[in-house]
Structure 1
Amino acid sequence: MGFFFKGLGWVGRRPGWWLFGLIPGLIAFVLYVVALIWLATNASDVAEWMTPFADDWGWEGLFRTLIGILIFVVGLALSVITFTAVTLAIGEPFYEKLSEKVEADFGPVPGGDQPFWSSLLRSIRDSIMTLFYVLLFTIPLFILGFIPVIGQTIVPVLGALVSGFFLTVELTALAMERRGLNRKARFAILRNNKGSALGFGVAIFLTFLIPFVAVVAMPGAVAGATLMVRNGLTPPPPAYR
């Protein structure tokens, strides 16, 4: 968690870089707000489309209202989970420069410049793969959420841990790739540093639940991830180098 606060402190002392890092988050935020407004205004229609079997029920109105609320809640949860991936894909050149500046403040910057389009395509590809893994966990957790007691206690905690871990995967990608580490190697490092990965990611996940804070805090999260990769993670096992 300390690296997240260090990242916030780094951008707080450099308001120019903080404003620079806000641009992709603001773009993504507007896109998500539009999508969530559409979902909120059309959730009942989507629920009706999804539940044709309930047409003859005497209480189909209440049932579909609950399904509509559930659809919106799921959409809101997915927006939190995917916000970082989408923002990083949009802001690849912005966050690459921000991450490099953080590295330069603490010593030589590893690696070299990558072609913009190659870097962007890689970012999109890796984000899609990470989202696939996230859904492998979140869909079963969503189903378990309907179980009384467990769904209101254990499942939200597990959801925060899963989301936090994959947020760390996304945010550390820039600094790790600069060190020549592919996706397999990055996952290996974070699995070997579960405490750091979860502490960093869960803190950011909980912060991002607060409306608009995700946009404001994203530059600090990128800076903190860079600092964590530089100073707080053990090297990958030889098999993954």
Structure 2
Amino acid sequence: MAPAAAPALGVGRGVGYLARGLALWGRRPGLMLLGVVPAVVVAVAMALVLVGLLLWLDDAVAWATPFADGWDPALRSGLRIGLYLVGLVGAAYLGVIAFTGLTLALGDPFYERIWAEVERMLGGDVPAAGVGWWRGARDGLTLAALGVAVAVGVFLVGLLPVVGTVAGSVAGLVVAGRLLARELVSRPLEARGMDRAAQSALLRGHGGALVGFGVAVQACFLVPLGGILVMPAAVAGATMLARDVLDARVGRN
């Protein structure tokens, strides 16, 4: 008989996993410091890239709206300012997703140690090894590339009249949050031999927790230096989320 479906984890529970991960800074500061080194390197590189992107964004908005050249100056300015703001939101999502992907790619050995130690702290079934540096790097770079797609999508939705700015921002928030959460949660699941299809089946019904966790991580990353301090906590929290889903599936919760 197939195992019963695990009780769905909601948005609030998802946010709680990040809070539990952050609590490890007080309990295991030495462990968490392992994740700071790659995060600092990537944060500096990302800051330089995003500064260049923001300098280019004004020209990109003008290029994308030639149809507004003959409009009343007030309307033209309003449209282009709105799109510039959407572009800023898209750049923020790009920065968050790319930061996560690149940091995981660069620092996989560091984050694997955090993941493995959290697994041991939780007890029960602990995989003997992680996914490996090459696999982790590939997945991290793929996530960074998806960040570009999200940023472009947010900008294109922003072109819609009236509702574009809000719709693009909300859609980007949800999509980016889910992408982040899925990538972070995938590490402990892949270490158990689960491919993407098996992971999707396991996590089905827990979309609220994934979005809540991912959005909470994004919010922290948008705070100056937040990504550097939160990245280790995000890895730890994702491991806790994955374990709760796995344990619930076999009736431990």
Which of these residues, 34, 37, 43, is aligned with residue 23 of structure 1?
A: 37
Which residue is equivalent to 1:113? 129
User: In structure 2, the residue corresponding to 1:192 is in which secondary structure?
Assistant: coil
Task: Determine the structure 2 residue equivalent to 1:10.
Answer: 24
Q: Larger deviation: 32-41 or 156-165?
A: 32-41
TM-superposition CA deviations, 1:179-215 (whole Å, max 9, x none): 1112232233334311211111111122222222111
SS at match of 1:23: helix
Distance in 1 (alpha carbons) for counterparts of 2:182 and 2:52: 30
Give the structure 1 partner of residue 237 of structure 2: 224
Q: Tell me which amino acid in the other structure corresponds to 2:106.
A: I
Q: CA deviation at 1:125?
A: 2.4
> Are 1:156 and 2:172 matched, yes or no?
no
Residue identity matched to 1:210: V
- Runs of 5+ consecutive residues of structure 2 not aligned to the other structure: 1-14, 74-78
CA shift for structure 1 position 65: 9.6
Q: Which amino acid letter does the alignment assign opposite residue 100 of structure 1?
A: A
- Please give the residue correspondences for 1:187-198 in structure 2 after superposition, counting only pairs within 5 Å: 187-198=200-211
* 18-27 vs 104-113, greater mean Cα deviation: 104-113
- Cα distance in 1 between the residues matched to 2:143 and 2:203: 13
- 8 A contact 1:175–1:226 mirrored in 2: yes
Give the length in aligned residue pairs.
233
- Name the CA shift for 1:144/1:78 in 2 (closer, same or farther; >3 Å): same
Q: 1:134 to 1:38 in 2, by over 3 A?
A: closer
1:103 aligns with 2:119: yes
Q: Which of 172, 179, 194 is the aligned partner of 1:181?
A: 194
Report the counterpart of residue 105 of structure 2 in structure 1: 89
Distance in 1 (CA, whole Å) between partners of 2:218 and 2:110 is: 21
Q: What is the one-letter code of the residue matched to 1:194?
A: G
Tell me if the contact between 2:154 and 2:168 (Cα under 8 Å) persists in the aligned partners.
yes
Q: CA deviation at 1:225?
A: 0.5
Instruction: Report matched runs for 1:57-96 at 5 Å.
Output: 74-96=90-112
1:191 to 1:162, Cα distance in 2 relative to 1, 3 A: farther
- Per the normalisation by structure 1, the TM-score is 0.78
Select between 75-84 and 193-202 the one with higher mean Cα deviation: 75-84
Shift of 1:35: 1.6
Residues 132/172 of structure 1: CA separation in 2 closer, same or farther (3 Å cut): same
Q: Which residue of 1 aligns with 2:3?
A: none
Residue identity opposite 2:19 in structure 1: F
Give me the identity figure in percent: 35
Mapped to 1, the partners of 2:99 and 2:244 lie a distance apart of 26
Distance 1:194 1:234 in 2: 17
